[in-house]
Structure 1
Amino acid sequence: MLSLPVQPAPAPFAAIFDADTRAAIASGLCIQCRGAKLLCGKARCPILVRWDSMMKTAPMVDRIDLDGSSPPGVFVGRFGYPKVYVGPLVPPVHGDTQILDAPEEWIGHPMEDIVHFRSQLVRGMHRVHVQDVDGGGRIVDQTRELALGTSPADVEVGFARKPHGRVVLDDNVQPFGPSAPLSRFDLGSLKVDQNLDRAFSDTDLRAREAVIDLYERRTPVSKIQRAFSVGAFGIEKNRRFVPTRWSITAVDDTIGKELRERVKTFPLINEIRVHEAIGFDDRFLVVMIPRPWRYELIEAWYPNTLWNPLGRDIVMFGDHEGFEGRTTYASIGGCYYAARLAVGEALARERRQAATVILRETHPGYIMPVGVWNVREHVREALRHLPHRFPSMADTLEYLHTRLDIPMSRYVCTSEVLQYVLHQRTFDDFDLFALPATSASS
């Protein structure tokens, strides 16, 4: 992990956090944790607690009954596992609400739109053991049925108390609005996704095979993740609820591994490529090199960004895998697997193989967590556009220097894949390591 000195955060802002939290932020621990592992030892993430307090609003639903059109959307919590809260996400509006839970359609929208979409969704909560996918009662059955839907469905819910008025933020999961325990849940007519329903009905089909089959049938990844979370896939006796944040990474990882194995059978690309996307003050540079499969995601977080709010330094670190993949969970977390899916998807579509390094440079405009969909969809967006092509690594690094604010030497020092490519040369690399075109012609 590398650090670069920049202007420190103002003292009054630093005073929001206690000394232990300030030390964790300064060390880069918060970037590695992102509220998921509670590496600081606290019961709740101080940064997310701060955002929770800032996002408190006047209640949108000042009553204990609510009706509206669910996108459809559901949420499975993780606290208290194996007894977790499951239930629908319901906005207080009727009509076409599908975009409220369709991250594949959010690219190009400003962060304010995403928060607006998600803050409308009120979360109903019903506590159940994760193994009670069939015996959890009517609320559980209707939650699962809603997760298999393909279009908005009218829903009526009753709450045990008025929903709390705040937007819930998480680095893995899309934001959502206030929540309250359910006393009743009535689901209106619902159009079920036939592919999801087929996978649900096949109780002899393993969950992995169900996920891959649905992906091949062009079911959106977010819909697969939603159905996965309610225990809709797998051998009947093994089915269980999966917390939403875990289901997102599980599906990304499953699809990404399958795509990786396919890509490894294809010929190499024949030039170096650089794809680019920018969103939420987040820059993604995707570098593809004509080498057998390797993959790496490197992130650089400026001070005054979400997970580095007090730091004096830019914090940079990454995770990578070689040809055989990796055997441990990536320290970066879910975004590693989300981006890998997008890379494998693009290479499989082209039937080509490459070593890929993603350079993510996060600037101060990235101020709140919106979920790993941001990484998956922005890398997808980058790979949808024609790349810049280069004959040599020298030309590539020279170009990257113009697109990133941090010196390329810092990225190279952090990157296992770039160092491997630069130092483990083969006879086929003669052109790859030529001088830059400008130098060669002078």
Structure 2
Amino acid sequence: MKDDTILDPVKTKRLSESMKVLYGRSIHLKEEIRGFTPPSSLITDLSYPKVFLGILLSESDRIEYYDNPIFWAKEERRIEDIIRYRSSLINARTISDVYLPRKKSRLYDSILESCLSIKSVDLEVELRKVREAKFIPRVHPFYGFIGSLRNLKVIENPKVPRKVEDINDLKAEEAVYYIYKEGFSDYYISRIFSLGYFGLNHNRKLVPSKWAITAVQSIIERNIRREYFQRSKIVDYIYIFNYKFYGNDFYGILMPGNGEVELIEAILPGSAYSINNKLIIGRDKESGGYYSLRLSFAEFVKDTGLLGNLIVFRIITDEYKIPLGVWVVREGVKKMFFNNLARSSNLYEALSFINSKLIKYNLSIYKLIKYSDLYKQKKITSFI
């Protein structure tokens, strides 16, 4: 089951209206704005090779909180808080072709300079046709307003790390893994990857944000796997993990194996991804959430030296009223690994244990496990 299943339009409209009532999103829709960017960019598909190149900004000087999944996860900010942060942002965007990083453009240089910064940046922005966003995107983090970007001026010097400035002679994959190992988050790396910052100049191009996130997470996961997996110890037992995060209840089974990963999802009636208010179950091996899971698992192996095959069950409950982005899987699984519920020497015993936890959802683990190839392999090998 893909993670970008369409929202029920009636519920989406109701939620949008309730957001306005709750938070009274008031903003004077003027065309010249002195504001801040977290920093954050957003590049979306138009008609290849054309894309929307956007920078997200707000007039609030506490902008660092407005696009910061690490902060949200650490502080466990409420969904309502995240909605409030995001719905106050303006997506100041312009139409561009993907090859813009290879050309001379003052506007692009200003956006790139702002988004390379690790601190919020003060900007002066000229917009036209500023309007309220009337939809909630299924994949991208949502925002409150859209404006056509005419000009952008950086008022203060962005704080760009020296290690990031000094990677121009590296190929894209080498550069991504290098600055990751230097301690930069995959969120930061995805942002500048999207803006075509990595690689040799003649190869650079803009990448839609949703593709950039998956590409960066895949690059980092692949390199961690290459560097750490072979020297890690395969677990002797079966470990059960659990963490509930923004209405997503994650259960993980780590069992002896060579590092294979599966994501099984159950979308409960009333949740953001629910269709016709019915239960949906399936295996996800292609959406952004799956690649977020793979990276979180790779980091677990790197940090603990323990290796195995992992099955994660993601129960999307009716508390998850609006899709917040793949970072929910990324951070939720990271937290899951810190909460080891039980240890077992028997897979069937482990499944029975999780099944007892799913009763509250009127859900059976035995229905979910049917979608697991790892489970089927385990059953076959038990007879050999």
User: After TM superposition, is the score higher than 0.5?
Assistant: yes
- Structure (1 or 2) with the larger CA radius of gyration: 1
Alignment of 1:29-428 (within 5 A): 32=2, 34=4, 47=8, 51=12, 55=16, 57=20, 60-94=27-61, 96-107=62-73, 108-135=76-103, 137-161=105-129, 163-166=130-133, 169-189=136-156, 190-199=158-167, 202=168, 204-265=169-230, 266-312=232-278, 314-319=279-284, 330-331=285-286, 333-405=287-359, 406-425=363-382
Shift of 1:195: 2.8
Identity %: 23
Normalising by structure 1, report the TM-score: 0.79
Q: Is the 8 A contact 1:134 1:141 kept in 2?
A: no
Shift of 1:129: 0.9
Query: Number of residue pairs matched?
Result: 371
Shift of 1:226: 0.4
Shift of 1:55: 2.5
C-alpha distance in structure 2 between counterparts of 1:54 and 1:87, whole Å:
25
Task: Specify which structure has the higher proportion of strand.
Answer: 2
Shift of 1:198: 2.2
Q: CA RMSD in A?
A: 2.2
C-alpha distance in structure 1 between counterparts of 2:83 and 2:135, whole Å:
10
Shift of 1:136: 5.1
Q: Deviations over 1:50-96 (max 9, x none)?
A: 736852656523211111221111111212221112132111112x4
Q: Deviations over 1:244-266 (max 9, x none)?
A: 11111111111122223334302
C-alpha distance in structure 1 between counterparts of 2:57 and 2:66, whole Å:
10
The one-letter code matched in structure 1 to 2:27 is: M
5+ residue gaps, structure 2: none
SS for the counterpart of 1:157 is strand
C-alpha distance in structure 2 between counterparts of 1:315 and 1:118, whole Å:
28
Shift of 1:316: 0.8
Q: 1:176 to 1:255 in 2, by over 3 A?
A: same
C-alpha distance in structure 1 between counterparts of 2:273 and 2:314, whole Å:
14
5+ residue gaps, structure 1: 1-30, 36-44, 320-329, 428-442
SS for the counterpart of 1:264 is helix
Shift of 1:426: 8.1
Q: Is the 8 A contact 1:34 1:171 kept in 2?
A: yes
Which ranges of 4 or more aligned residues in structure 1 deviate by more than 6 Å? none
The one-letter code matched in structure 1 to 2:292 is: A
